[in-house]
Structure 1
């Protein structure tokens, strides 16, 4: 017997065998049980979600010899013939290959004849949107009033191409895409009955690769079984689909959490050697960042279906919420711009470097929770990295732990070389000295008349280039070429820190200095142009100063006011609160002042966002502004007094009304109305500050 693919072998034959599409099955089952049958049904949805399957089950329900029922017997001749695809009264039409109006007329010519075997003659037209306009027009009248023994079942993946006249004559059902969770659950059931071992992680790769299509998932499962020789393993599925091993994605996330650009680029290089699809890599990284964001917001919502919940939670603690959101947005933008890059690898590397370079300052130093409170225990990313590497050691393409010993040494040599080139004193000090051309440092400094301390040790006399502190600013001094510096004087960096140039050098001491062969040409900087302030500039400066002084006086006056329910909207302007917290505080009203305790009310909508950290920050800003020590409590309750937001809105309405009245009373506007019958566009009036 020839092999039958899983998509055909496990095609549901009854409504109870269907997975998903409960909203469609509920309507059809109730219609069948109550004998409320429509003459035309239209099933829409993407490929592989069950359009043709539901249509065949419905045809079986209509023609079962046991009667019209939502649960056909499946054993009578009609049910058997429909299952085997040879029922004479079920006419399946492929509209993609029969688009001409002549084909439609041939179908309509046979509509008038009674069914041969079954109760109804069922026309199943698949991909109905491929019919021509003439075919649709020929079908309209029959579709609107078909004979009682005819039922039309239409299926399409593109309902937008159907004329409105066709849509209005059909009972339309929109089928939804399958979720990866539902696909994985169904694959477990099928593979369990087929006695095929499978890794759950591999099934999740298949479920996500199917993109909502159950038929695609079953086809990919067939391919994975053949690829793995009867077994479904995560590595085999990843290799078959061209996706990236999850261990590599976690290593990449760890490198981003540590802001380790070298590790991230090395990982990209390793994956490029295996011809990885960087578009899929970015998609996997976005999926992981999404799970990390969920772990930071609601840790209990992270599923452990792939056995990596602990790793996701560890990464969630290692990154700040701002960093996670930034990474998600940068990854989305990078995935969109990846086709525009010269090559996918460079686009991937630039995306990772953006994540690291634009990271919030200090986010790796101290991981924070979503509320802004520092975590008590810093996560051990090194342990997580070892765990991922050990887990991936069984893979067909082993994960090589990143070794930075050689790269670190090379980077160190490069940094020292750069520092030597940028700092001539350190270079001259470290260079080998010649007895014939060099003199001890003590003799040179003694000739200059400046005492120096003897070096304590060889290490202390050779500080690193980063520790040299030049005691003067050399930004404005002319550049002196290195060839005019005498090689006879090795300048010592510690000595430079202690040398103080005297105001007047004696003549005898001046003679000991080495005169360069080429005179140093000192370029005098051009004098900066003198900018004279005009009268207009002076007036603007004075006006800005007056406004600033008025604002300061207003704030001082507001702070001096007694805090009460009526004065709270005014005092709010003196509190330096910004961002989301400003919006939350502006929608509160002061209900009571009980000694040092302030009780504020907020409505339910804003109270859901008013967390404990917001209340603490609000109390700090309020006490700092008013120089008090109030205990602030914000609770949900009725708004009985005017809030700062309501006051701002009221003042804006008053100013707008004043502007409208001013326009209405303006004599020029009135003259225009009388002369030209002009009208004022009220929406264009804006009050001027």
Structure 2
């Protein structure tokens, strides 16, 4: 006797045989009992969850010779012929092959004729989202007001592609993924009836691979049972589906923790020799670390894991990683998985991804041993960058205070460089005005403007700008206004044509991103130093630039009673002292 695929042989023929869609079955049965059936239904949901099967069972239920009945008898002539697909009044249309307006117009012409073999005409349109816009428009009026002897059942996996005008004319039912428990029970019953011996772990793994689709689960079971002569084991399921045993996952994760590159590369080579594909290994590994994250984060996460059969076996490994580590690992794997789709060497990308992952556990200690800042998810590189910026700010503050003491003459009676008596503000303290920032030791930068280091940086500047753009396009928009003019030891001096662009680039967050790009692209850490291009041109032409005065101290004129002009007070109140410069 010819073999029939399991998913066809065990397709439900009545509502009671349906698995996992009780909310839909109950609604339809009540509608049949109370004679409240709609003229149009929309069944949407993932593949293999029973949309078309439910449509056929509903067609039998409304046309059963003993009904309409909540359950078709499957014994009368109408039920048996509908099951065999031999009734012309119950028509199943594949919208992917009949998607044009002409096919829908032909359907619309035939709808008006009364059924000849059964009680009610039923049109099942599968994959209805494939219809063209013109075809939908041709169907609209008929779908809204069909003859009383016609029922439409639309089935789709992508309901978002249907026009809202079509959805509003149907009663919509959303089919959900079948749970692992329901799938396992159904597969065990089928195995008993078919004489197949299957391990519980194998059945559970098959259910997880099917991603909630009953048809996919039966197809996998059918394939494995054919290969193993009806003896289905967990190892055989892994071998035939390209899966990786959980033990190998644990070993691979342990090599990442230990930073053991040699063992990790050997494991990759063994996987490739076993016939595993690099993209499948990447997908399985990403699922594994996702499951570790779920186990670490969510109590009783066994229902949320995709590949872990026994979460207790994974808790120790989940404890060895911190949550920030797991986030970084999943993000890295996802990035390289996307790149794999366009690569001719997927194995190389898989190896590079794992090599990069080896450095993550070493950069970030586990949550039990890390300081509070790291435990909160702060990257160690960001901490180093912040420390360096704080040091720079302390130096600038010290210089500003020294300049302020010199300008005040020790007692605040003589303003240096002003040539007049002291003019103090309301608080009695000198005011620091916003002046052009000139880096200290400017003559050293001028001497290095034609050095080999400067030439090297200038030759790579286009790459630097592109890397900054890849990191954050808004920073690139400001930073591209500057050009590198000199390199002094670990500092790159960039001259800007516009002061707004320079000030925005100098913001700590933007500056930090740029300096990280320097270190990654140029191979060593560089500090970003900025100034205005016009000041730089004056310096290299021998002009006088106040290189040692990053800030200027100015004092207000006493006006009559010692106050300032009213518009000065208003400007200070609106913009703040840092942005207002008062010139005599």
| Same fold, TM-score > 0.5, yes or no | yes
Question: Retained in 2: the 8 A contact 1:320–1:370?
Answer: no
Give 3-state SS (helix, strand or coil) of 2:36's partner: coil
TM-superposed CA distance for 1:364, in Å, is 6.7
Do the aligned partners of residues 320 and 662 (structure 1) sit closer, same or farther apart at CA in structure 2, a change above 3 Å counting?
Answer: same
Say which of 337, 340, 351 aligns to 2:339.
337
TM-superposed CA distance for 1:270, in Å, is 1.6
Give 3-state SS (helix, strand or coil) of 2:81's partner: helix
Residue in 1 that maps onto 2:358: 356
In 2, Cα distance between equivalents of 1:542 and 1:342 = 63
- Are positions 1:540 and 2:542 aligned together? no
TM-superposed CA distance for 1:185, in Å, is 4.1
Question: Retained in 2: the 8 A contact 1:299–1:313?
Answer: no
Give 3-state SS (helix, strand or coil) of 1:122's partner: strand
Trace 1:117-266 onto structure 2 (pairs within 5 A): 117-180=117-180, 182-266=182-266
Question: Retained in 2: the 8 A contact 1:39–1:152?
Answer: yes
Question: Retained in 2: the 8 A contact 1:257–1:315?
Answer: no
Trace 1:439-450 onto structure 2 (pairs within 5 A): none
Residue in 1 that maps onto 2:314: 312
In 2, Cα distance between equivalents of 1:217 and 1:542 = 78
Trace 1:418-497 onto structure 2 (pairs within 5 A): none
List runs of 5+ in structure 2 lacking aligned partners.
Answer: 376-543, 555-568, 580-584
In 1, Cα distance between equivalents of 2:194 and 2:346 = 40
Give 3-state SS (helix, strand or coil) of 2:173's partner: strand
Deviations 1:516-565 (A, max 9, x none): xxxxxxxxxxxxxxxxx97564453999xxxxxxxxxxxxxxxxxxxxxx
Do the aligned partners of residues 200 and 259 (structure 1) sit closer, same or farther apart at CA in structure 2, a change above 3 Å counting?
Answer: farther
TM-superposed CA distance for 1:247, in Å, is 2.4
TM-superposed CA distance for 1:63, in Å, is 1.5
Question: Retained in 1: the 8 A contact 2:199–2:234?
Answer: yes
In 2, Cα distance between equivalents of 1:25 and 1:687 = 72
Trace 1:259-274 onto structure 2 (pairs within 5 A): 259-274=259-274
Do the aligned partners of residues 314 and 90 (structure 1) sit closer, same or farther apart at CA in structure 2, a change above 3 Å counting?
Answer: same
Deviations 1:225-264 (A, max 9, x none): 1122212222322222223233222210121222222211
Mark the structure with the bigger radius of gyration: 1
Instruction: Work out which structure has the larger RCO, using CA pairs closer than 8 Å and 6 or more positions apart in sequence.
Output: 2
Question: Retained in 2: the 8 A contact 1:40–1:143?
Answer: yes
Question: Retained in 2: the 8 A contact 1:243–1:277?
Answer: no
Deviations 1:142-172 (A, max 9, x none): 2222111111112233444444443332222
Question: Retained in 2: the 8 A contact 1:44–1:172?
Answer: yes
TM-superposed CA distance for 1:369, in Å, is 13
Residue in 1 that maps onto 2:72: 72
Question: Retained in 1: the 8 A contact 2:99–2:130?
Answer: yes
TM-superposed CA distance for 1:138, in Å, is 3.7
In 2, Cα distance between equivalents of 1:113 and 1:302 = 55
Q: How many residues align?
A: 397
Greater shift in the superposed pair: 41-50 or 104-113? 104-113
In 2, Cα distance between equivalents of 1:265 and 1:198 = 35
Deviations 1:48-83 (A, max 9, x none): 221111111111221223333323333333223322
Do the aligned partners of residues 7 and 30 (structure 1) sit closer, same or farther apart at CA in structure 2, a change above 3 Å counting?
Answer: same
TM-superposed CA distance for 1:6, in Å, is 1.0
